[in-house]
Amino acid sequence: MIFVAVWTGLRVSELIGLKWRCIHADSITIEERFCRGDWSVPKTDASAATIGVDAEVITRLLRLTTLTVEVRVGRAVRKHKLVKSGGPDDLVFQSVQKGCPMNDQNILKRHLQPAARKVGLPFVNWRCLRTSHATWLVQSGADPKSVQGQMRHSRISTTMDIYAQIVPASQRRALQQLSVFASGGCLPAPRPMDLDLDFSEPEEGAEGSRYNPRHKTVQ
């Protein structure tokens, strides 16, 4: 689920509400979302769209249908299929025991945040994965219109906010390297940019409503 979030930029509510009929050979269609226990339409009209995805994303999603997970209950160990039923209207990401919509806060607190702390990130939430995806699109050279389409931003101004925070940092590094090159020195090794992103989209889920930190992309 985390892999798909990073590689697609989907909101966590869209991931939880993803159904098998929405998975195609090289794309994913966003039709609805599951947020705070309720089903609803996507966040905006632009959010209801089909986006292209990397082939590895589809491969990993299809692999879910073949996997099982072991759950220890007292001294016993029970095996559960990750996908109880793979019909068109069934969920892609299902809870371990009953196949119901997953709890994003449980995944965040039990898996995502502990993993972040191990690599020195003091704070991370689901929105960080979405903003990281947008950042990497820009860093890879994607034009604003393509980024807007992939992120399904309803306003181009939201997309341009990403460029406004990322491009200047890239320009400063490029000028520094040019100065070193002109003086006959060696170019420094590329370094990850220290980005401090604060986009306008509100965080989804109960926890997001209680915190308002400065969001950083996951390097």
Residues 127-180 have pLDDT tens digits of 999 989 998 998 888 888 999 999 999 988 888 888 777 767 666 677 677 777
Look at residue 161 in the predicted model and tell me its pLDDT: 84
**Enclosing H/E stretch for 156:** helix 156-182
Given a cut of 60, is residue 109 above it in pLDDT? yes
How much of the chain, in percent, has pLDDT values that exceed 70?
A: 81
Given a cut of 80, is residue 192 above it in pLDDT? no
Given a cut of 80, is residue 112 above it in pLDDT? yes
Please write the tens of the pLDDT for every residue from 13-33. 999 999 999 999 999 999 999
Whole-model pTM?
Answer: 0.74
- What average pLDDT does this structure show over 177-193? 62
113: exposed, middle or buried (C-beta count within 10 Å: 0-12, 13-18, 19+)? Answer: middle
Given a cut of 90, is residue 210 above it in pLDDT? no
Given a cut of 70, is residue 187 above it in pLDDT? no
- What average pLDDT does this structure show over 179-194? 60
Q: Do 53 and 63 meet the contact criterion of CB atoms below 8 Å apart?
A: no
Q: What is the DSSP string of 122-138?
A: S---HHHHHHHHHHHHH
Look at residue 193 in the predicted model and tell me its pLDDT: 44
**What is the sign of the dihedral through the CA atoms of 21, 23, 29 and 35?**
positive
Residue 80 CB contacts under 8 Å (≥ 6 apart), including other chains:
68, 69, 70, 71, 96, 97
Lowest mean pLDDT among 103-112, 117-126, 180-189: 180-189
Q: Which residue has the tokens 């400065």?
A: 214
